Amino acid sequence: MIRSLNSSYIRRACGLTACCFREITSTNTILKEYGRQGAPEWTVVIAEEQTAGRGRGDHIFFSPRGSGIYLSVLLRPKARRFSPAAITAAAGVAACEAIEEISDNRAEIKWMNDVFCGGKKVAGILAEAAFLGDEAMVALGAGFNLNTPEGGFPEGVSDVAGSIFGDRKVRFAREKMAVAFFRILQRVYSLPAAELYTAYRDRLMVFGREVIYRGRPAVVTGLDTEYRLELTFSDGEKLFLNGGEISLKV
């Protein structure tokens, strides 16, 4: 029997307005609607299961009940000009620190928004921005694989997906993960730009690695302060990525 999430504990420990659901389509989708209705910054949506969890682009995020925790937080950046990449970076750093706080794993980031432990993806970040007049609104979502789901991960993601605790059951793991992530995110989100950049860069697992981008092999040779990844191809061509998918070459 799957234990229900202790939502009252999360609300008390986070000190945030938290809306908890047993099942939901997507935490980001619901949170954006709350944002359009005037919900305050740091409103949180948490789900035990997503039926339409999303990753970047047209990717899905496998979100079954009982094996993970799926959450989103509403941010309202004050300046008209802000960096969605920096917000994603803050979430990635916070996710890594939170994973290390509740487990014995070393967490790293595969640019831009995937979190890995032991060579497997255990968490994903999705920041979706919108403007309401002159005000920016960001639904910042994160999904954490805490345990290997019953029957394993589905075909198509099983080669890369992993979990923080594997088959080991940890008491209140979902609550601990949510609380640690939100608490750390509030600190990391307020870091000066240079400190956030350094914290993110130090977590990247791809420097010096050979990757595949749009069918072409390249080596990751840098990251600029706008979080653009520098690729160097065999013919000497350099490319700075604002977005897109890279694959690690085995």
- Relative to beta strand 18-21, strand 44-47 is parallel
Q: Please give the Cα distance from 156 to 213 (Å, whole number).
A: 19
Nearest 5°: phi and psi at 238?
Answer: -115, 145
The mean pLDDT values, 10 residues at a time, for the chain of 250 residues are 78 90 93 94 94 66 83 86 88 98 97 95 93 87 93 84 93 95 96 97 96 94 96 96 81
State percent of the chain over pLDDT 70. 94
CA–CA gap between residue 75 and residue 83 (Å, rounded): 12
User: Quick one: pLDDT at residue 7?
Assistant: 86
Query: Which residues contact residue 125 at a Cβ distance below 8 angstroms, ignoring those fewer than 6 apart?
Result: 88, 91, 92, 95, 113, 114, 115, 140, 141, 142
Query: What is the structure's pLDDT at 153?
Result: 87
The phi-psi region of residue 134 (left if phi > 0; otherwise alpha if psi is between -120 and 50; otherwise beta) is: alpha
pLDDT at 52: 72
Reported as a single tens digit per residue, the pLDDT across 160-213 is 899 999 999 898 999 999 999 999 999 999 999 999 999 999 999 999 999 999
Q: What is the pLDDT of residue 63?
A: 72
Beta-bridge mates of residue 70: 47, 143
Q: How far apart are CA 53 and CA 202, in angstroms?
A: 29
